[in-house]
Structure 1
Amino acid sequence: MTELVATSPGLYPLPDWAKEELADLKGRQKHDLISGDEGEEIVDAYERAREEVVGVQESAGLDRIVEGQLRWDDMLAHPLAVHDSVETRGIVRYYDNNNFYRDPAVQDELDFDGDVAAELEATAELTDESLQAVLPGPYSLADLATDEHYGDDAEFLAAIGEFLAGEVDAFPDVETLTLLEPSLVENAPEDGEDERASEAIDAVASAADAEVVVQPYWGALEEKVYAHLLDADVDAVGFDFVANKEQNIYNINEYGATDDVALGLVDGQNTLVETPETIRERVEWIDDQTPGADFERAYLTSNTELFYLPVNKFEAKLEALGEAADIAEVKA
């Protein structure tokens, strides 16, 4: 029997009231933001917004609660953008879409920061449900950054992995850690680099006292990249079944899979809300297409982050995931 777990990859849209309030506060406190001080009013607004999105997840019946990453203005680049050894520079397009982030230029050793751990500690005080931490995977974070200190791609990737492992080591008790790795698809590593990417992911996963899920998206992994990822000591690999069903099915059937999987079944960029029945049908279709697999746990999730969506659509998609995961049995 496959256990179904409703969750999400985090990076939520700000509640409408928070978007307006924070835009006003940040406009008035621009100097403080440049110096790295968010100010008490901004901190308070984010705290209230965090409490709201935790409540939304609980009401939707999600089995894993994320912090929401509402402060992550630079999206996956955030853990570097707030680091003292990093200078955030001009605006860069976020892969091939209309979202942007500030280029994080690493100028010194990436020592411990603790920003994400502090967010998780605050979230733990708001819920009794199982927590899920969210981080950029080391390959994607290195891909999004500019190295002006290490001077070697392999050394830089290893340093990013060590930095994230140090952050994970400071986490409070979490049930699951999700590493978001869209660059494995969008800017696939070449020969040799694919193995180093797997090693960096393994370093982060080894620091976690939690189930570790690696979620690539915006397509399917190339075969060699997928095969190397399976070498990492992770509990689950994710599949974007919105963007590319066929190649992901092929990878599972040809190379096998982890005992647990994350199934990206809900479109994180489209306002059309999937029904719980549609999500169930997609789970059953995957089950039928992978007769040799016997997954112990399947995380039901969106294929990408959800910050692209209007708040009402985001909430509706979480509700659909929560209801869809109530299926008692997929494969005996």
Structure 2
Amino acid sequence: MTELVSTTPGLYPLPDWAKQDLSDLKGHQKHDLISGDEGPEIVDVYDRAREEVVSEQVDAGLDRIVEGQLRWDDMLAHPLTVHENVETGGIVRYYDNNNFYRDPQVKGELTFSGDVAAELDATSELLDDEALQAVLPGPYTLAELATNEYYDDDAAFLDAVGEFLAGEVDAFPEHETLFLLEPSLVTDAPDEDLDERVPDAIDRIVDATDADVVVQSYWGALEEKVYAHLMDANVDALGFDFVAGDRDQTLYNINEYGTKDDIALGLVNGQNTLVESPETVHERVEWTLDRIANKSFDRAYVTTNTELFYLPENRATEKLTALAEIANIPEVKA
């Protein structure tokens, strides 16, 4: 029997009251704040908002609790935009949607920051026996979202980003799971010289934690060659977007090249306000696992296919409940 674990890839929508409070504080608007240099009033807003989104996950009954990444105005680029050796450039479209982020321009060595570790420390204090899940951009995605003006070439930059993220993870409090979000592997697939280096960059991060590590891709299917190389990474699970893109290609990759003993299934739409019922989510789990040939999974992480910040706050909360309630439905036999 496959254990179903309900979770999310994080990056939650900021509560409406927090948006208003931040707007009122010193004229704060979305991309005006240099994250990491917030004054005490702004820190207090984010602290209270974190407590709210953590409580919502606990109340819903999710198996893994994320911090929510409410301070990440620059979405997955955040770990670099707050770094002392990185300057924020102009506004850039965030993938193919109406969200934008500030281009992080790396001007110096990517030394230890500790920004995300501090967020997770604060989250740990809010939990009792719940399992903490850390969330980071994967090394390839973070490198793709940045402009390298310090390292020799793309390969050296990818290696440096992997080392940087590993150093950040080493400072994390105890966590059960680490999700590395790698949408750029789909939207901006690495060239032949770089894709072979992606598993090594990921493995540096894996070596820095005792947690189960999941590499979650989304916004479509991975190219066959990219997937084959990704299988070389020493992770516990690969995650797939079964909402957007070519599901047949994703299933072909899994059946042709195999996958890990655990799997993450992006089956709930992280961008559409239609809320799936727990029964619908469970049916999607069974449909998907039935189409993976000759493979039984120890664990399936059931999640949204993308980050949640695209959704209105109330719809995001409702989707948490739908995910959590799959545990009340008879177990999947796959």
TM-score, normalised by the number of residues in structure 2: 0.96
1:1-332 mapped onto 2 (5 Å cutoff): 1-27=1-27, 33-34=33-34, 37-128=37-128, 129-243=130-244, 244-331=246-333
CA contact under 8 A between 2:22 and 2:29: conserved in structure 1?
no
Please state whether the residue corresponding to 1:234 is helix, strand or coil: coil
Deviation larger for 162-171 or 236-245 = 236-245
C-alpha distance in structure 2 between counterparts of 1:41 and 1:29, whole Å: 14
Query: CA 1:310–1:112 in 2, change beyond 3 Å: closer, same or farther?
Result: same
CA contact under 8 A between 1:300 and 1:325: conserved in structure 2?
no
CA contact under 8 A between 1:181 and 1:216: conserved in structure 2?
yes
CA contact under 8 A between 1:168 and 1:204: conserved in structure 2?
yes
C-alpha distance in structure 1 between counterparts of 2:25 and 2:235, whole Å: 41
Query: CA 1:29–1:308 in 2, change beyond 3 Å: closer, same or farther?
Result: closer
List per-residue Cα deviations over 1:260-281 (Å, max 9, x = no partner): 0000000000001111111011
Q: CA deviation at 1:26?
A: 4.9
Query: CA 1:58–1:255 in 2, change beyond 3 Å: closer, same or farther?
Result: same
Q: CA deviation at 1:34?
A: 4.6
List per-residue Cα deviations over 1:267-308 (Å, max 9, x = no partner): 000001111111011011012111311110000000000000
C-alpha distance in structure 2 between counterparts of 1:201 and 1:168, whole Å: 12
Query: CA 1:106–1:263 in 2, change beyond 3 Å: closer, same or farther?
Result: same
Query: CA 1:296–1:26 in 2, change beyond 3 Å: closer, same or farther?
Result: farther
C-alpha distance in structure 1 between counterparts of 2:188 and 2:202, whole Å: 16
Q: CA deviation at 1:68?
A: 0.1
Give the length in aligned residue pairs: 331
Q: Report sequence identity in percent.
A: 73
Cα RMSD (Å) of the superposition?
1.5
C-alpha distance in structure 2 between counterparts of 1:294 and 1:26, whole Å: 55
Letter in 1 for 2:223: E
CA contact under 8 A between 2:34 and 2:82: conserved in structure 1?
no
Deviation larger for 254-263 or 191-200 = 191-200
CA contact under 8 A between 1:50 and 1:70: conserved in structure 2?
yes
Q: CA deviation at 1:29?
A: 9.7
Q: CA deviation at 1:133?
A: 0.2
C-alpha distance in structure 1 between counterparts of 2:194 and 2:108, whole Å: 23
CA contact under 8 A between 1:4 and 1:326: conserved in structure 2?
no
List per-residue Cα deviations over 1:13-56 (Å, max 9, x = no partner): 011101111122151699x9459520000000000000000010
CA contact under 8 A between 1:26 and 1:33: conserved in structure 2?
no
Letter in 2 for 1:174: H
Please list every run of 5 or more consecutive structure 1 residues that lacks an aligned counterpart in the other structure: none
Please state whether the residue corresponding to 2:222 is helix, strand or coil: coil
List per-residue Cα deviations over 1:295-327 (Å, max 9, x = no partner): 100000000000000011000001000001334
TM-score, normalised by the number of residues in structure 1: 0.97
List per-residue Cα deviations over 1:66-91 (Å, max 9, x = no partner): 00000000000000000000001110
Please state whether the residue corresponding to 2:206 is helix, strand or coil: helix
CA contact under 8 A between 1:249 and 1:290: conserved in structure 2?
yes
C-alpha distance in structure 2 between counterparts of 1:231 and 1:262, whole Å: 17
C-alpha distance in structure 2 between counterparts of 1:36 and 1:123, whole Å: 17
CA contact under 8 A between 1:137 and 1:180: conserved in structure 2?
yes
C-alpha distance in structure 2 between counterparts of 1:318 and 1:34, whole Å: 30
C-alpha distance in structure 1 between counterparts of 2:36 and 2:234, whole Å: 36
CA contact under 8 A between 2:279 and 2:329: conserved in structure 1?
no
Ranges of 4+ aligned residues in structure 1 off by more than 3 Å = 32-36, 325-328
Please list every run of 5 or more consecutive structure 2 residues that lacks an aligned counterpart in the other structure: none
